[in-house]
Amino acid sequence: MKHPYKLPCRSKKSLGVVESRFLDWIGLERLPSFENAAWFGPIVGVCLGLLAMALVVAGVATLIQFLSIVLLNSSEHEAIRNIGLAVVAVLGAPFVVWRAAVAQKQADIGEQSHITDQINKAVSGLGVEKTADRIGRPIKIYVGESETITQLVDNPDTFEMKPRSIERARYWDQTSLNHPETGCEEFEGLHIVIETWQEERTEIEWQSTPLKLDDGAAIASYGDWTVFSETAPNIEVRVGAIYALERICQDSPRDHIRIMEILTAYIRENSPVANLSPTVEPIEPKSPRTDIQAALDVVGRRSAKLVALEHSKRFRLDLRRSDLSWANFANGCFDGAQLSGCRLEAANFRNASLRGARLQGALLNFADFFSADLCGALLDHATLGRSDPRRGSITQARELRGMSVAGADLSSVGHLRVSEVDAPTFGTKDTILAPALAEKFKANLDDIDQYVFIARGNIVEDEHDVLQRLKATAFYGWSPFTSDDLATNSLRSELWNALGLVGFPFRDE
């Protein structure tokens, strides 16, 4: 079933849109695709050759007639004038055509130069920064594990503490000591309690914003208040540059893929993933930066025509290793997108199209997949170990046909759809399942293992029973091997062929 892309709403009363559609309808805005009728090219070439020969013959005939009238001293002045005009018209026609072609070529070059200038200007806007002055002071902080000991001090004037230490208390007392040679001794004097840490770092405390310390950390010393010049992205200018690139995409489809590469590279470089360790609950909402979300919105609302252009070029949106937690992908088209190794905690994928998307190794805890299309998506080794019942879990997606979860952590997924009712998913022996599902997988492991060796042609009655039992579970087509086994790829390819998931974006060939 072809996925109905959700396009941005446009007013049909817009004069510019109506005019553009009319010009496109009559063929004035579309560049001809000569590959669609390659056989017709030689015929057109022959016709043009015959037309050129006819013009030459007509010109020669007209010239002969003109000379005959002149040489015979004919008095037909009007005929001589008409023939002369005809000669000029015939001889000048090629030059008129040539001049029109040159003018059109110059116009095309000027248009492309203008578009290139617009792209360069917009790309320059993506790197604009602004400088702001803030008042702050450096603070030295001791962090890490600490150790508290009590020092017995004979001479306070010569006593020195270890590095990264803070004196916690000082008092006079009497303490019994066990000496290995003299036995029990009494010490009466100064006792100093010292706490020592393993590491230290320096942070800036901004005026009117108290510094928050980690558990177990301590402030060692305060610096003087001073003015710091802080450089930050100019979000307003960058967002404008992103929307300018979107407009260029709409006006110049030939530059669309290049602009998508620019925008996805911008997202990767400005929101890189630091690590893929799950956030400890409770997870706090943290929206992505405004310009990052704007770039995602532009990428996600591409028209179906531009998406088809990408597919014809086997182009995938490259968002690998990006931190897009809490990002909004809702209603967007991300078919075939490269999202492997991304941090996508609590991301909103509602009604998004992720057909054939690559999400290997992604962190997807608390992600909302309500009504999303995950047909043929690769979630191998992805992490879905946490979920929120108030948000749409992966089982609430609209389409899971052929979704691969080989070696993934699905410990938060309470159930999977029955293969006989809904099209099957694909998993492996090392897919981490919730306890109830894991027990069902073990109970059906013999049938899963036997399914691998069942002939796909004529099958006997016992083998037919195996297939029927598997189709009544969520594990029809699953692999009894681990995700790194070579047989697993073969079994997934076989399942995809049976489901009709061939070609791009499911496969690159």
- Show the 3-state SS of 328-371: ECCCCECCCCECCCCECCCCECCCCECCCCECCCCECCCCECCC
The 8-class DSSP code of residue 37 comes to G
For residue 88, being part of any structural domain is answered with: no
What distance lies between CA 480 and its chain's CA centroid? 32
199 and 242 both lie in a single domain: no
Are the C-beta atoms of residues 203 and 139 closer than 8 Å to each other? yes
Q: Give residue 39's pLDDT.
A: 79
81: in domain: no
100 domain residue, yes or no: no
- Per-residue pLDDT, 421: 60
Cα 244 from Cα 222, distance rounded (Å): 47
If asked whether residues 382 and 409 sit together in one domain, one would say yes
Number of domains in the chain: 2
Q: Is 412 left (phi over 0), alpha (psi -120 to 50) or beta?
A: alpha
Copy the structure tokens of residue 420. 């006989």
CA torsion, ordered 253, 255, 256, 262, to nearest 10 deg: -170
One-letter amino acid of 168: R
Both 218 and 254 in a single domain?
A: no
Domain assignment present for 256: yes
Distance of CA 33 to the CA centre of its chain: 30
User: Is 18 part of a structural domain of the chain?
Assistant: no
Cis preceding-peptide flag for 505 (omega within 30 of 0): yes
Q: Is residue 476 part of a domain?
A: yes
Give the C-alpha separation, 86 to 105, whole Å.
29
Same domain, 228 and 280: no
H/E stretch holding 149 reads strand 129-153
Residues 6+ apart with CB under 8 A from 463: 450, 454, 455
Cβ atoms < 10 Å from Cβ of 75: 9
For position 454, what pLDDT does the model report? 76
Tokens of 97: 């055509």
Statement to judge: residues 189 and 262 lie in one domain:
no
Residue reference for tokens 């803070």: 166
148 and 224 housed in the same domain? yes
Tell me: do 212 and 241 sit in the same domain: no
Do residues 348 and 329 lie in contact, with contact meaning Cβ atoms separated by under 8 Å?
yes
372 and 488 housed in the same domain: yes
Inter-CA distances, 190 with 14, 147, 152, 223, Å: 88, 20, 6, 31
Per the CB < 8 A criterion, the answer to whether 323 and 292 are in contact is no
Last residue of a domain, one of 199, 232, 265: 232
Question: Same domain, yes or no, for 250 and 195?
Answer: no
Please name the residue ranges forming H helices in 72-188.
Answer: 77-125
**d(C-alpha 411, C-alpha 342), whole Å:** 19
User: Which domain, by its residues, includes 431?
Assistant: 235-499
- Which pLDDT score, from 0 to 100, does residue 463 have? 79
Domain match, 447 and 421 both: yes
* Domain stops at, among 208, 232, 256: 232
Query: pTM for the full model?
Result: 0.70
Side-chain-side CA neighbours of residue 217 (13 Å): 17
Whether residues 224 and 292 fall in one domain: no
- Counting as low any pLDDT under 50, the low residues of the chain are 1-20
- The answer to whether residue 395 is domain-embedded is yes
Say yes or no: 197 and 255 in one domain: no
Which of 232, 253, 269 finishes a domain?
Answer: 232
Query: Residue 82: inside a domain, yes or no?
Result: no
